Each structure stands twice: as structure tokens, then as C-alpha cells.
Amino acid sequence: MIEISSNIARRFILDVQGLRTQKPSRSVMNVAKRIHSIQIDTMSVVSRSHNLTTFNRYEQYREGDVWKDLKKSKLFEYWSHSLCLVPIETYPFYARKMEHNRSSTKGYYERFGEKMKVTIQEVYKYIKKNGLTSSSDFKGENLGWGGSLESRSMQYLHYTGQIMIAFRTNFQKFYDLTERVLPSHIDSTPMETSELARFVVETTLGSLGLGNFLDIRSYLGRWPAEYLWNNQKSAIEGHLDTLVREGNLEQVKIDGIKEHYYMLSKKVKSLERMEANLSEDPVKFLSPFDNIIRERHYPLKIWEFDYKLESYVPPDKRKYGYHVLPILDGSNIVARADAKVYRNENRLELISLYLEDDFWKERTGLDRLAKGIHKFREFHNVEEISVNNVTPKSAKNRILEHLRGL
């Protein structure tokens, strides 16, 4: 078993994820292949999650660039742990999931498919005849969440793999038959059962660097772990331990964490080269759906950072705010900010800033924070910054002074 400090564990994870690395991503596709899935989000209080997640790993990224690779069929859009953009080369794995979805009798889409067979078939025939189709091509009654029956029918056809999202325009999806969207060089055959476990383990640990049974059953969504191991901790860990004995994985003990973790054996040399140095790079504002944040257990164990998205929590029950972003400084998550961008006012507002580490007491720490705030502002293409509440209060004037000095 390999034993490492928590600082080395954090550095290694951030290096693998491309958040703090000497080998930064140079394209959207570099990011996607590095972390596997880029979660798509509709919340636009600040730039949407797919933009922030990509920007934090590829600094030349500009809002909306992910859709260019969707339109080129380098990425495709499907349900991983959530609705995501994933590399087109991984289609056989998701084709297996689509096959499962077509035969399943559980869940909302399955019930919808059974109840609305006629409408679904009519929508399929329409797309087959007319090609690229969006929900605006139908004039059915809007039923609230999910839209009209026709819109929900397209979602069902997408969920079961009969149609794909060819591209988006202004966030509007345009669908066509799978055989007309999927590139001819991509194998459409569902992945064999014998390959599923290998794919899940290699993709999860290859993307995160370090993970345990919780990550194996969450990083690619619930279905694979339910199908392969009945979602049982003992079964998942039994499989991982077999891979350790076979030399494909290594067990890792992180100082201060009771549970043991796993990593790919081929990454051991990279781990051994890690140094627990403090980066002087600007802080980064992470999306609530960033790949190291989205599963609450992961930042809690690795960074001792308890994070929960409070957007759906009643206002009087919120602890930090509506759309709070974790802040990464070096290899540590040191703060969180309730932020909002007012594009019509050309302004970024930090409604509340919570500093949970003493990094700000040093001038270099304040410099990293101020530079990170300015980079965040520049990414949103606004000019003004306003800072309201800061905890601790004594930090506010020093932060404002550093912001003015840049």
C-alpha cells in the first residue's frame, strides 16, 4: 500500500484533473478526454457550469466553445452522472446504457415511454422525415418542466439512443436520427459486459487520480455500479482489490483519512513526482458541478470542505447563499463566494465572500485572491467588481485595496 500526505493527494488529483498542472489542457477536447465528462447546466447566475469547468482547465477557453466540438461530433451529449458532454470515442459504453434504458421498466422516462408510445412514434417519424428538429418545431401545450409532450418524447428518444443532439444554438437542442449524427468511424455496438467494469474503473480513476468505492459508483452515474455490483460496497471493493492483486491498481492510504483509496498502477510514477508546493497562481472559482466538487463526499474527505449547493434550499434556510462557488488556492480549497454577474450592468458582484483559511493574511495570498477575482471578471467580459459581505469583516478593506491595485 502506498502512503501519502493529504497535500500530495490534493496535488496529484488537481494535476490529473488539469486544475493545477505543469501540463495544461490546450483545447476543449483535451479537457473532455482528461476528465471524461463536462456537466451541462442551465443555471446562469454566473457563466454556466460547462463553461467554468472547461475554463478552469483551459485558460484560452471562451464561453460557448464547447458547442463547437459538439457540432463537429467530437463530443456528444448524454446522461453520465448527469447530462454531460463526453468524448465521442466513449459512445459504445453509453450505447450499452441506452440499451439498458430501452428495456428498463423503472424511472420517469420508462413510465413515459410506456404511456406515450403513440406520441413518441409520431415524433420519431417526424424527425426521420424532416431531419434536424427542435422543440420549437412542435406547437404542443407546454406542460411545465420538460416542456410539451413532443419535447418530452424527444428527450425519451434521446435517452434510449434513437436520436442524438446534433448541435445547440442559443442553448436550444437540435436532434436528428442517431445514424445521421454519429460519425461513421465510431462503433455503435454496445459495449460487452466483460468490458464494462474495466471501462468504469479506468475512466473513474484515470479522471480523478484517486478514488474509492463511492467514486466508482458515482463518477459515471449510478447505472454501471448497480448493474455490475448491485451497488454494494463489498462487491465494488472486492473487484478493486482483485485488480490490485493483478497489478492494475494500487491501494493508497492518505494521511488523516480512514478510508483507503485506489489509483491506476500506471500513474504511480506521476504520484511519486508530486511536490506539496504552494502555487502562486491566481485562485480559481470552481463551478458547483466541477468534477472534484459535484459529489459531496469527495471534497469533504480530500479537502475537509463541506459543500452543498443551496440554490434549491429556501432562502431562509441557506447558510452561504444562492449560487456559491468554492475557491481553489494552490492545492487547497480555502473560501467560497456567492457570486452573480449582471451583464446589463457590466458588473460582477461578490454578494458574500467567506474566507475559511488564513491565506489572505499574507500579501501574496491577497494578490492571488485579487488576481483570481479579476480573471473571473475578465472571463465574464464585464468591467466592474463589487464586493459586499466578507467573512471575516477585517479582510474586506484589504481585499478592496488589492483589487484597486491591479
Chain-centroid distance, C-alpha 124: 30
pLDDT of residue 371: 97
Closest to 277 measured CA to CA, from 237, 337, 330: 330
18 and 167 belong to one structural domain:
yes
94 and 47 belong to one structural domain:
yes
Confidence at 148, pLDDT banded by 50, 70, 90:
confident
Residue 234 parent element (H or E): helix 233-245
State the cell numbers at 2: 502506498
- For residue 388, the enclosing domain spans 284-404
Q: Of 137, 152, 181, which marks where a domain is finished?
A: 181
Strand order in the sheet with 249-254: 2-4, 249-254, 261-264
CA atoms of 149 and 135, how far apart (whole Å): 10
pLDDT of residue 400: 96
CA atoms of 34 and 16, how far apart (whole Å): 7
Q: Of 215, 246, 272, which marks where a domain is finished?
A: 272
In three-state secondary structure terms, 36 is coil
Q: Of 181, 205, 240, which marks where a domain is finished?
A: 181
Confidence at 139, pLDDT banded by 50, 70, 90:
confident
Express each pLDDT in 223-246 by its tens digit. 999 999 999 999 999 999 999 999
Q: Into how many domains does the chain fold? A: 3
Window from 193-207, 266-280, 372-386 with minimum mean pLDDT: 266-280
Q: Is residue 343 part of a domain?
A: yes
Q: b/e map of 113-127 (b: 16 or more CB within 10 Å)?
A: beebeebbeebbebb
- What value does the mean pLDDT take over residues 14-40? 97
Express each pLDDT in 302-314 by its tens digit. 999 999 999 999 9
Q: Is residue 313 part of a domain?
A: yes
pLDDT of residue 314: 96
pLDDT of residue 54: 99
| DSSP string for 190-202 | PPPHHHHHHHHHH
44 and 123 belong to one structural domain:
yes
